[in-house]
Chain A
């Protein structure tokens, strides 16, 4: 009998995921004991967990190193991996938006060349090329994206927004919502077939729990 391998993102998203798996009867004591181990096992349910950098979750799952992964929809879109996106876990909700200085409101179509600062170059490029049908210059940043338009690094930003406070405080406004984002459960395409029964069970249980919570 084979183990089910689950890749969890380090950090807040992963912590909530652990609780979710616990709620359906998976033993997560090992993972919560914060030891230095890299792989945590629940022998009874034949489940193995490992914690990885959030943006690496889709890679582990695509290659089958993990059968199941938990990742934000932002990460999934940015990585563009070939996976089954089976379940909306409904937490970690926020939005991927196009934003910029209030002065640009209504002026977007008049600008010939746009520079867009973002942590998500792929999402930004696809949004502009496929939805707005225009070419843009992407400036890839690793954080504090809101700063870029304030200091003239870019005109626009594409970023995740939860409450919108940071934007407001910096006189930035949202021009468009690109995607609604939340945590998702993804499954490797081969695992879904070869370990079908067990994976389906996990998904059904999680789905029930999420619906009860709602």
Chain B
């Protein structure tokens, strides 16, 4: 039997220093933004009951969930997303909360993806949910928070496409198509499969102006003009209302000063059961998948026992990292500013200086090899450390700038006064 002890399973990976540093920075910036926007974070278990995630068959198909049994034989899963746990909590532990209820999360989720597809099975999601109110202001706050989170992470060149699932539902009601045809149509429009759409439309008895609009749906994306163009041909109330709602959302986002990031896509029709209003996706260069998705899902919390409207989004943190890397964005990487070594006479001083410099925000490594100056220098150079602070005794310090190779002796008070920047 092969021994797998030094390997990791398919679809999961170790994240080491540089990457981990960048990832934590992204998470910290997003967490900070969520907090400042009034979305406080919660943590939910990685293990949950399968039943929790099977309330909505559209969100994660069962074959994509990692499953186990507990001691009583009940089915457990590794959570495939974080929206459903939030809905569960909103309807149970937080059911007496004051609304609107704002919640954020950052955590790892798990899904079986096709092996060899290059997609990870474990990935980090960061997101927020706004529960209890169904105003357009709630939807716009969510979209604005999403945009600000991407900006906070360091992305600049991205766009958010907003659709409105009610528009599609309204059109379909007007056609009177049976449910299975509507679902078939939804799949075809989502794929922008013009050929398939034409086939259904021609097979069914649909008024000709409606027919043309449906055939045109996959092309209806772009800027706000799309809405105005469509409004001229739409007659049904539901479809018209949904267009007005969407237009209003764009107006509000303009006042947020975020108008440049948002576009319309009326052909965005993921999952009719899950989403109940606006729906949006975030795209950027260098990543072939949406880095962000969200929308309104007013039927989800009800499945856990309390009827509450809700809207939210989640960002794929790993995808954002990929995007930053491929766009060659300027990201901060781990770097040791100085390495401190000392003679025995200077030991106490060395610890004091180290403490002070770290308090000033510098990254300081202490020599623990005690292997002598040559060894320390070679080691420091190999790591690209900026300089060596050699504490000779309680007064005297030798500073070795490894970038320009200058060596200088100064006093302890001079050193601490410079904030550790080698004064050469």
Contact = CB atoms under 8 A, between A and B. Distances in A.
Contact of A193 (B117, B159, B286): B159
A189 B287 CA distance: 10
Nearest to B263: A193
B284 A83 contact: no
A65 B193 CA distance: 21
A154 interface: no
A84 B283 contact: no
B222 A196 contact: yes
A63 B288 contact: yes
A118 interface: no
B159 A194 contact: yes
Contacts of A193: 159, 161, 221, 263, 265, 283
Nearest to B288: A64
A87 B284 contact: no
B215 to A, nearest CB: 13
B29 interface: no
A10 B192 CA distance: 25
Given A59-B117, A84-B192, A85-B192, A194 B288 contact: no
A85 B195 contact: yes
A86 B194 contact: yes
Contacts of A194: 159, 283-285
Most-contacted residue by chain A among B161, B195, B288, B290 (CB, 10 A): B288
Nearest to A90: B195
A189 B290 contact: yes
Interface string A116-154: 000000000000000000000000000000000000000
Contact of B287 (A59, A64, A83, A196): A64
B290 to A, nearest CB: 7
A188 B192 CA distance: 11
B361 interface: no
A190 B283 CA distance: 6
B263 to A, nearest CB: 7
B284 A189 contact: no
Interface in A58-93: 59, 61-65, 83-88
Interface string B242-278: 0000000000000000000001010000000000000
A2 B194 contact: no
Given A85-B191, A193-B263, A193-B283, A188 B117 contact: no
Query: Is the interface on chain A under 10, 10 to 19, 20 to 34, or 35 or more residues?
Result: 20 to 34
Contact of B192 (A62, A64, A86, A190): A86
B118 interface: yes
Contacts of B265: 193
A201 to B, nearest CB: 13
B99 interface: no
A75 B284 CA distance: 28
B289 interface: yes
A193 B195 CA distance: 21
A153 B158 CA distance: 53
Nearest to A66: B288
Contact of A83 (B191, B194, B263): B191
B194 A87 contact: yes
Most-contacted residue by chain B among A59, A84, A86, A190 (CB, 10 A): A190
A63 B118 contact: yes
Nearest to B195: A88
A190 B191 CA distance: 12
Contacts of B221: 193, 196
Most-contacted residue by chain B among A83, A88, A193 (CB, 10 A): A193
Contacts of A188: 288
A64 B289 contact: yes
Contacts of A196: 221-222
B124 to A, nearest CB: 19
A103 to B, nearest CB: 34
B294 to A, nearest CB: 16
A135 to B, nearest CB: 16
Interface in B349-404: none
Contact of A65 (B218, B288, B290): B288
A87 B198 CA distance: 12
Contacts of B284: 190, 194
A62 B193 CA distance: 15
B322 to A, nearest CB: 10
Contacts of A62: 288
Nearest to B196: A85
Contacts of A88: 194-195
Contacts of A86: 192, 194, 218
A189 B285 contact: no
B195 A190 contact: no
Interface in A162-214: 187-194, 196
A190 B159 CA distance: 10
A191 B369 CA distance: 53
Contacts of B195: 85, 88
B168 to A, nearest CB: 17
The 9 closest A-B pairs by CB, nearest first: A64-B288, A84-B192, A85-B193, A63-B288, A190-B283, A88-B195, A193-B283, A85-B191, A188-B288
Interface of B: 117-118, 159, 161, 191-196, 218, 221-222, 263, 265, 283-290
Given A64-B289, A87-B194, A189-B288, 6 more contacts: A59-B117, A64-B288, A88-B194, A193-B159, A193-B263, A196-B222
22 contacts: A2-B285, A59-B117, A65-B288, A84-B191, A85-B192, A86-B192, A86-B194, A86-B218, A188-B288, A189-B288, A189-B290, A190-B284, A190-B287, A190-B289, A192-B192, A193-B159, A193-B265, A193-B283, A194-B159, A194-B284, A194-B285, A196-B222
Interface of A: 2, 59, 61-65, 83-88, 187-194, 196
